[in-house]
Structure 1
Amino acid sequence: MATPYHLQSPRTIIAKLMNMKQHPAALPQPPEPEPPKLILQPRHRTTPAMWCAAIFCFAFSILLIIAGVVILIVFLVVKPRAPSFDAASATLNAVYVGSPPYVNGDMTLVANVSNPNQKIDVVFRSAAVELFFRGRLMAAQALPPFAQRRGQSRIVDVRMVSSQVMLPPDLAVEMLNQMKSNRVVYTIRGKFKVQASIWFWHYTYWMYALCDLELTAPPCGVLVARRCSTR
């Protein structure tokens, strides 16, 4: 049985305290954490539908690549070019500005349509030519369909007749001033639906033509300057 502290001598108590400081009691260590458990997901089997979809996507990609290569080769060999539209000549037969401002006019346009391709035939399925004065529509004319062989040119006569076309007063005054100065400026716009044929392949696109014409005053006004572009 241990002797109570109050019955022990001071020297014994001090010795026990020094012994406790030199040899402290071992503290309990926390338990080591358990390693995480690996949870495996169940494997899903690839269904036949997924295999078919993958094979289809792969084959479709191969076909797209082959088609792209073929189109590139054909383009490099054929070198397609758009037909051209040019104003060969024009005659301003008559222009009459009435009051209130309206215009009657008559102009004959001789256009040169050419197919510069050496391996492509084209067919103009539809064609429309419009006459403008300072952005105001003066006359319009539709053309019948026609075909052009490779390297072929064609002369097209277009009659542009303006009948009772209302003009703002400022445009009417400008037209009168242009006729007095013997320089009348018109704009021609053409819209064509073209079908091109390369061997067994056919494709269709729209072609647009723009011509700025400068003519002398009527009667018998002649074309003195032009600037045409096709896209």
Structure 2
Amino acid sequence: MSAVRMNSKKYLSKYQGRRTHPIIWCAAIICAVLAVAVIITGIAVCVGYIIIHPRIPSISVLSATLDTFRYNEAGLLVTQITMDIRATNDNRKAHASFQDTSMLLVFGGMEVARLVAPPFEVERNGTTDLHYVVESRAIPLEQEQMELASLSLRRDEVLFVLRGRFRAQWRVGLLGSVKFWCYLNCRLRFRLNGTFTNTNRCSSRPQ
């Protein structure tokens, strides 16, 4: 009985004599500090975005004119459109940049022209306009497109589709930068006299 008690005392004495290594304490303190810092940063970012309420920049068709739309019996189409695209940054506290801007002008499923723009920036709560003169050479049409062109001439209305995408990025102070891919897909309606007859706004959407 006394031997058992003696062994227990030796075991407890040996266990109590062990101390946590300083490196482990330092690692634990560093992890705790990092965890607190991450929590504080997350709260600051959430509060900052709630207060600032940043909006995603957009592009939209400001104006357009159908300058030329000619179609002959040989099935060749010649067209020219003058178009102004507006890039808008509604953020009052965030500078925005637009990159990889590319748009396609389509008639009857056929690509008429490609519209591109180099990277550019838009000031806080500002706009930047891009001017395009989209001119195509004689484009050979397939049977379905020829019928669509003939129908357009009879109805005195021409329909184009504008598809595009761009990458928008803006930075809000110390909260960091945000990037979004935005896409454009809308119909452009014209009278043969060149009048742009769209009733709905043609504007990009984030995705």
Aligned alpha-carbon RMSD (Å): 2.9
Q: Does 1:222 align with 2:195?
A: yes
Report the CA distance shift for 1:184/1:66 in structure 2 as closer, same or farther (over 3 A): same
State the SS of the aligned residue for 1:204: strand
Tell me which of 203, 213, 220 is aligned to 2:188: 213
Partner of 1:73: 47
The structure with more helix, counted as a fraction of residues: 2
User: Could you tell me the TM-score, scaled by structure 2's length?
Assistant: 0.74
Contact 2:58–2:182 (CA<8 Å) still a contact in 1?
Answer: no
* Matched letter for residue 224 of structure 1: T
Please tell me whether the aligned partners of residues 82 and 115 of structure 1 are also in contact (alpha carbons under 8 angstroms). yes
Deviation at 1:58, TM superposition (A): 4.9
Q: Tell me which residue corresponds to 2:3.
A: none
**1:159-198 equivalence runs, <5 A:** 159-198=133-172
Conserved 8 A contact 1:122-1:150: yes
Rg larger in structure: 1
**What letter corresponds to residue 152 of structure 1 in structure 2?**
G
Cα distance change on mapping 1:51 and 1:163 into 2, 3 Å: farther
2:179 aligned residue: 204
- What are the superposed Cα offsets for residues 96-120 of structure 1, whole Å, 9 maximum, x if unpaired? 3356644332111122222111111
On the 8 A contact 1:86/1:211 being kept in 2, the answer is no
How far apart, in 2, do the equivalents of 1:71 and 1:98 lie?
Answer: 61
Report the CA distance shift for 1:141/1:229 in structure 2 as closer, same or farther (over 3 A): closer
SS at match of 1:163: coil
Q: Secondary structure at the residue paired with 2:125?
A: coil
Counterpart of 1:151? 125
Read off the aligned partner of 2:173 and give its amino acid letter.
Answer: W
Structure 2 counterpart of 1:137: 111
SS in 1 for 2:137: strand
Closer/same/farther in 2, CA of residues 166 and 58 from structure 1, 3 Å limit:
farther
Deviations 1:45-78 (A, max 9, x none): 9996887776666555434323321221111111
Q: Deviations over 1:11-46 (max 9, x none)?
A: xxxxxxxxxxxxxxxxxxxxxxxxxxxxxxxx9x99
Instruction: Work out whether residues 100 and 167 of structure 2, in 8 Å CA contact, stay in contact via their aligned partners in 1.
Output: yes
- The aligned residue for residue 121 of structure 1 is 95
Q: Contact 1:92–1:215 at 8 Å: present in 2 too?
A: yes
Q: In the comparison of the two structures, how many residue pairs are matched?
A: 186
**Structure 1 residues 165, 226: closer, same or farther in 2, change over 3 A?**
farther
Asked whether the equivalents of residues 56 and 168 of structure 2 are also in contact (C-alpha less than 8 Å), the reply is no
Identity of aligned residues (%): 25
Q: Residue type of the partner of 2:186?
A: C
Task: Output the amino acid matched with 2:106.
Answer: F
Please tell me the residue identity of whatever aligns with 2:81: M
| Native 8 Å contact 1:87 1:226 kept in 2 | no
Other-structure match for 2:56: 82
Question: 1:151 Cα shift?
Answer: 1.4
